[in-house]
Amino acid sequence: MSRIGNRILTIPENVTVTVDGTHISVKGPKGELSTEINENITVHVNGNELTVERTDDSVKNFHGTANANIRNMIIGVTEGYQKELEAVGVGYRFAVSGNKITVTAGYSHPVIVEVPAGLSVESASNTELTIKGTDKCLVGEFAANIRKIRQPEPYKGKGIKYKDEVIRRKEGKKAA
């Protein structure tokens, strides 16, 4: 029995959820998101409560996933999501100009990354980057792609890391 799938979601006042067969769209103050769910899963909206039910046990694995995705959409259109990145190292920096980010991370050339539609990027300083958006998956994927440009290494800790990430440090070789 799925505990997450049986969870009853509360819809805030300023959010509208529209269910059209397998297509679900959520509209709120920060934007609109939509998704497709499995045809054996039904979504019921009663007033300000939303429930997800499955027709048979062959779709157990989609039951909790559908509920979690709808919950993430509701949170995204009301509060939004954000990820913060930090560049650690001499000469490592971010430069935001329009919808492009120039990442200088120890290569012989700067890496230029285009920001996907639906995301906004801010830079408090040249070593900090904040990615904001309504879609949790898109924010997380874009942050992971930026981090992948130069992952933090365990000896000096240099690289691009999440703001709250703790890098496990290794001890280097010692002279005998």
H/E element holding 75?
A: helix 60-78
Q: What is the pLDDT of residue 61?
A: 87
Span 44-51, average pLDDT: 92
Q: What is the pLDDT of residue 36?
A: 94
Contact 118, 124 (CB under 8 A): no
* Residue 2's pLDDT band (cuts 50, 70, 90): low
Q: What is the pTM of this model?
A: 0.90
Span 129-146, average pLDDT: 96
Q: What is the pLDDT of residue 101?
A: 95
Q: What is the pLDDT of residue 1?
A: 54
**pLDDT tens string 74-131:** 999 999 999 999 999 999 999 999 899 999 999 999 999 999 999 999 999 999 999 9
Contact 74, 9 (CB under 8 A): yes
How would CATH label the architecture of 9-78? Answer: Alpha-Beta Complex (3.90)
* Residue 11's pLDDT band (cuts 50, 70, 90): very high
pLDDT over 70 (residue 17): yes
Residues of the chain within CATH 3.90.930.12 domain(s) are 9-78, 81-162
Residue 147, SS3? Answer: helix
Q: Which CATH superfamily is domain 81-162 in?
A: Ribosomal protein L6 (3.90.930.12)
Outline where DSSP puts E strands in 23-171: 23-28, 31-36, 41-46, 49-54, 81-88, 93-97, 100-104, 111-114, 119-122, 128-133, 159-162
